[in-house]
């Protein structure tokens, strides 16, 4: 799995925990990094309790020693996965697999890490009448996370995952980052190995688009005429790229990016091209720009806004992102759109003509709502769900890019398009299908990667009336706070991972104790 550039290196002078360390050297709340044999171990002190767990996150190997300890959990600094210090369980996505745990022994003032413990597994959810079978529509972030959680929680009924994709659930964020840049091989992309589905008795049906849903008969019909009955259902159909017709452009020169196949098609085209026009200066467009620069393609970004990503991050961060990309050779045409394409000539609305063999469009996505609309579910620019992620139809849940849920911090219904949110909603929906009645109170979080810079975003701010910058954006050391009526709605950080985790934790605390 890829390591994130720019992460601080951990000290090479790591204590050997088998030989013991002094109790006083283990800092409360952060933990001490050391080794047991060949393995890196994090030793954590919580008052009188001591825990030893694997020091690398099972998502992308983030350094847990640089993360945040909250209660008996440790959170990863990179993408905020959360692990139990007691059992090692990955309690929150984007990690699914546990970290190992070791037995700890204290002798006077010295602490020793002893043998590795057997994985404890997750506490099963016991329900008197679990659903007879569960169908998940969508083989993406939310769908896979739900399937994983159903089995983790001991659900033994049938689980079917219907996916319109031709590929099993994949690490979608990577498709515009390392994979597109050529630094992640194909086999990093599937979220689970091929035999995982059969091992967990998950009936994954690919190339299978659901076209009709009857919530009274509890029946789904797919494009090929097959029908599936369900006891409980999760709608996790995600989103589709917005298609922008470009006058004169041929299908063989225009590309969108959502699926593994899309990313491979761009890579294949880039192999014989020198120049690209990227239409759109938001996350996907600019990640594509960065990745294609890594392939030495001349990148020209055309977008109507004044600053890249201005709508979501404001002008200050937008200006920084522009400079960052320009320093890597990207040329921007802002305040413009494409007027006409004629072969390799791309004419802009301002009249200028630029050259490109191909065009990648990243102009936003639209939630995939056709099925929910056909089924007559309550909608509001997304599928409306309650705090348990249940739709207006009993036994039917929705998660991910399609779901609009009540944000407990503001009371407003929100819908976001973030990987971690989709996965965490999938996990909560799965538990609720088994009767857990868990409210989805997760604080939205996303990250975006541009060259060696990761931008982390916590919270949700569609509109703000002030932006406060702490630190220096250009020096890549900052926390940017977006406020409305004096209230912090969201915080962007660059190389302040711990602060990002602290903000998330504080926002969660506000939900618990408003
Ligand atoms: C290239 C790229 C990079 C991204 N990078 C980031 C990032 O860095 N950070 C971040 O937070 N977010 C990122 N995102 C956004 C993130 O991937 C999405 O928010 C997330 O995938 C949403 O999960 P989901 O389960 O709702 O939908 P998806 O992951 O899109 O999965 C939806 C699934 O449903 C299937 N489907 C749709 N309709 C039907 C139907 N009728 N029947 C059967 N199956 C159906 C689709 O084929 C697909 O398998 C990125 C997205 C893309 C495309
Ligand atoms: S590396 Fe830990 S959450 Fe991604």
Query: Ligand 1 center to residue 104 CA distance, Å?
Result: 41
- Residue 47: pLDDT band (50, 70, 90) is confident
For the CA of 76, the closest atom of ligand 2 is 2
State residue 3's pLDDT score: 42
* Whether pLDDT at 428 is above 90: yes
State residue 514's pLDDT score: 62
Query: Ligand 2 center to residue 64 CA distance, Å?
Result: 9
What residues does 74 pair with on adjacent strands?
Answer: 69, 83
Q: Is 433 helix (H, G, I), strand (E, B) or coil?
A: helix
Asked if 167 and 260 touch (Cβ cutoff 8 Å), the reply is: yes
Asked if 476 and 494 touch (Cβ cutoff 8 Å), the reply is: yes
State residue 28's pLDDT score: 82
Ligand 2 binding pocket includes 95 (Cβ within 6 Å): yes
If one residue of 2, 78, 145, 445 were mutated to test the ligand 2 pocket, choosing by the most ligand atoms within 8 A of its CB, it would be 78
State residue 27's pLDDT score: 87
Give the rounded distance of the alpha carbon of 355 from its chain centre: 34
Ligand 2 binding pocket includes 81 (Cβ within 6 Å): yes
For the CA of 420, the closest atom of ligand 1 is 11
pTM: 0.96
What interhelical angle do 260-270 and 283-294 show, nearest 10? 40
CA–CA distances in Å: residue 369 to residues 137, 365, 380, 381: 12, 12, 10, 9
**Helix locations, 434-496, DSSP H:** none
Sheet holding 353-355, edge to edge: 338-342, 345-348, 353-355
Query: Ligand 2 center to residue 76 CA distance, Å?
Result: 6
Q: What is the number of other CB atoms lying within 10 angstroms of the CB of residue 439?
A: 16
- Residue 120: pLDDT band (50, 70, 90) is confident
Enclosing H/E stretch for 497: helix 497-512
What residues does 300 pair with on adjacent strands?
Answer: 277, 331
Query: Ligand 1 center to residue 171 CA distance, Å?
Result: 9
Give the rounded distance of the alpha carbon of 421 from its chain centre: 7
State residue 506's pLDDT score: 95
Asked if 67 and 77 touch (Cβ cutoff 8 Å), the reply is: yes
Within 6 A (CB) of ligand 1 lie 137-143, 162-165, 172-173, 175-176, 209-210, 236-239, 257-258, 284, 368, 371, 400-401, 417-420, 422, 446-448
E strands along 379-506, which residues? 383-384, 396-398, 403-406, 413-414, 445-450, 453-459, 466-472, 477-484, 487-494
Average pLDDT of span 243-266: 97
Asked if 235 and 391 touch (Cβ cutoff 8 Å), the reply is: yes
Ligand 2 binding pocket includes 446 (Cβ within 6 Å): no
* Whether pLDDT at 7 is above 60: no
If one residue of 1, 2, 57 were mutated to test the ligand 2 pocket, choosing by the most ligand atoms within 8 A of its CB, it would be 57
Sign of CA dihedral 50, 56, 60, 64: positive
Average pLDDT, the chain: 94
Q: What residue's CA is closest to ligand 2, atom 3?
A: 79
Asked if 386 and 441 touch (Cβ cutoff 8 Å), the reply is: no
* Whether pLDDT at 10 is above 50: no
Average pLDDT of span 37-52: 94
Q: What residue's CA is closest to ligand 2, atom 4?
A: 79
Q: What is the pLDDT of residues 309-361, one digit of tens each?
A: 988 999 999 999 999 999 999 999 999 999 999 999 999 999 999 999 999 99
Q: What residue's CA is closest to ligand 1, atom 2?
A: 173
Q: Distance from first CA to last CA of the chain, Å, rounded?
A: 39
Give the rounded distance of the alpha carbon of 349 from its chain centre: 35
* Whether pLDDT at 1 is above 70: no
For the CA of 57, the closest atom of ligand 2 is 2
State residue 34's pLDDT score: 97
If one residue of 1, 74, 75, 79 were mutated to test the ligand 2 pocket, choosing by the most ligand atoms within 8 A of its CB, it would be 79
State residue 354's pLDDT score: 97
Asked if 297 and 270 touch (Cβ cutoff 8 Å), the reply is: yes
- Residue 56: pLDDT band (50, 70, 90) is very high
Asked if 348 and 339 touch (Cβ cutoff 8 Å), the reply is: yes
Ligand 2 binding pocket includes 76 (Cβ within 6 Å): yes
State residue 228's pLDDT score: 98
Q: What is the pLDDT of residues 381-404, one digit of tens each?
A: 999 999 999 999 999 999 999 999
What residues does 505 pair with on adjacent strands?
Answer: none
- Residue 409: pLDDT band (50, 70, 90) is confident
State residue 2's pLDDT score: 43
- Give the DSSP letter string of 309-361: THHHHHHHHHHHHHHHHHHTT-EEEET--EEEEETTEEEETTS-EEE-SEEEE
Q: Which ligand minimizes its atom distance to the CA of 143?
A: 1
State residue 12's pLDDT score: 58
Query: Ligand 1 center to residue 174 CA distance, Å?
Result: 12
State residue 399's pLDDT score: 98
Place of tokens 């945040």: 68
Q: What is the pLDDT of residues 100-119, one digit of tens each?
A: 999 999 999 999 999 999 88
Q: What is the pLDDT of residues 126-181, one digit of tens each?
A: 667 899 999 999 999 999 999 999 999 999 999 999 999 999 999 999 999 999 99
E strands along 429-465, which residues? 445-450, 453-459
Enclosing H/E stretch for 99: none
State residue 499's pLDDT score: 97
* Whether pLDDT at 468 is above 80: yes
If one residue of 163, 203, 222, 290 were mutated to test the ligand 1 pocket, choosing by the most ligand atoms within 8 A of its CB, it would be 163
Reduce the secondary structure of 239-286 to three states and give it as a string.
EEECCCCCCCCCHHHEECCCCHHHHHHHHHHHCCCCEEEEECCCHHHH
Separation CA 30–CA 64 (nearest Å) = 9
Q: Residues with Cβ < 8 Å from 129, sequence gap 6 or more?
A: none
Choose the weakest-confidence range: 57-61, 96-100, 427-431, 509-513: 509-513
């Amino acid at each position: 799995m890829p390591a994130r550039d720019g992460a601080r290196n951990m000290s090479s002078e790591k204590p050997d925990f088998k030989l013991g360390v002094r109790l006083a050297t283990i800092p409360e709340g952060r933990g001490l990094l050391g080794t047991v044999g060949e393995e890196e171990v994090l030793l954590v002190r919580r008052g009188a309790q001591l825990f030893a767990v694997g020091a690398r996150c099972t998502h992308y190997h983030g350094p847990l020693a640089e993360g945040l300890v909250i209660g008996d959990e440790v959170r990863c600094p990179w993408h905020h996965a959360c692990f139990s210090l007691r059992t090692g369980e990955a309690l929150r996505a984007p990690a699914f697999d546990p970290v190992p745990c070791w037995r700890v022994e204290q002798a006077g003032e010295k602490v020793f890490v002893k043998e590795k413990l057997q994985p404890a597994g997750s506490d099963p959810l016991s329900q008197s009448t679990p659903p007879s079978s569960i169908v998940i529509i969508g083989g993406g972030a939310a769908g896979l996370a739900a399937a994983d959680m159903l089995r983790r929680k001991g659900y033994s009924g049938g689980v079917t995952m219907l996916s319109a994709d031709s590929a099993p659930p994949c690490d979608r964020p990577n498709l515009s980052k390392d994979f597109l840049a050529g630094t992640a091989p194909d086999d990093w992309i599937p979220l689970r190995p091929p035999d995982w589905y059969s091992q967990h008795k998950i009936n994954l049906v690919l190339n299978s688009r659901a076209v009709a849903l009857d919530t009274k008969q509890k029946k789904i019909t797919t494009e090929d005429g097959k029908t599936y009955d369900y006891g409980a259902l999760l709608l996790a159909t995600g989103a589709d790229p917005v298609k922008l017709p470009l006058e004169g452009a041929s299908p063989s020169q225009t590309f969108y990016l959502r699926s593994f196949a899309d990313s491979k098609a761009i890579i294949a085209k880039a192999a014989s091209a020198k120049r690209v026009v990227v239409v759109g200066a938001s996350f996907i467009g600019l990640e594509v720009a960065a990745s294609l620069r890594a392939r030495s393609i001349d990148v020209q970004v055309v977008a109507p806004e004044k600053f890249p990503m201005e709508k979501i991050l404001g002008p200050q961060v937008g200006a920084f992102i522009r400079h960052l990309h320009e320093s890597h050779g990207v040329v921007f045409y802002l305040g413009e759109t494409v007027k006409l394409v004629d072969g390799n000539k791309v004419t802009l609305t301002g009249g200028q003509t630029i050259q490109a063999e191909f065009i990648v469009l990243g102009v936003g996505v639209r939630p995939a709502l056709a099925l929910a609309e056909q089924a007559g579910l309550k909608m509001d620019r997304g599928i409306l769900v309650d705090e348990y992620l249940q739709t207006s139809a009993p036994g039917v849940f929705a998660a991910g890019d399609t779901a609009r849920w009540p944000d407990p911090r503001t009371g407003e219904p929100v819908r976001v398009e973030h990987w971690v949110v989709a996965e965490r909603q999938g996990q909560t929906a799965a538990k609720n299908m088994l009767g857990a009645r868990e409210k989805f109170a997760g604080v939205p979080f996303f990250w975006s990667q541009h060259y060696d810079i990761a931008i982390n975003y916590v919270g949700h701010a569609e509109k703000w009336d002030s932006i406060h910058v702490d630190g220096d954006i250009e020096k890549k050391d900052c926390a940017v706070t977006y406020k409305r009526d004096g209230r912090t709605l969201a915080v962007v950080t660059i190389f302040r991972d711990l602060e990002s985790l602290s903000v998330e934790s504080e926002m969660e605390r506000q939900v618990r104790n408003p």
